[in-house]
Amino acid sequence: MPQYQITVDEETARGLFSGEGGLAKLVEQVVNQILQEQVTEQLRAARYERTEQRAGCRNGTRPHVLTARVGRLHPRLHTARAMSYVREVR
């Protein structure tokens, strides 16, 4: 299983203790970062990186609504050209 390094901004960290959907924002931020890393792994290239091994091109993101125990999340699902991209987060 891949390991991801997740970064959380200060506003999200403070929101965890305010009770105003802070946990939902944290989970959404983590899901977005995991999806970003998954598309990087499958394309075999980071954003704006040009390599011989590149398997396709990024083609933006699209909004998605995910209902979880912590509330409604709005992750950005990445799209790619010239390959079939498989997301592991469902």
28-48 pLDDT per residue, tens: 999 999 999 888 888 989 888
Structure tokens at 12: 């999200």
Q: Which amino acid is at 4?
A: Y
- pLDDT attached to residue 87: 67
CA–CA gap between residue 31 and residue 85 (Å, rounded): 16
pLDDT tens for 4-30 read 888 888 888 888 887 778 888 899 999
Average pLDDT value for the chain: 85
Q: Show me where the domains of the chain are located.
A: 10-81
pLDDT of residue 76: 92
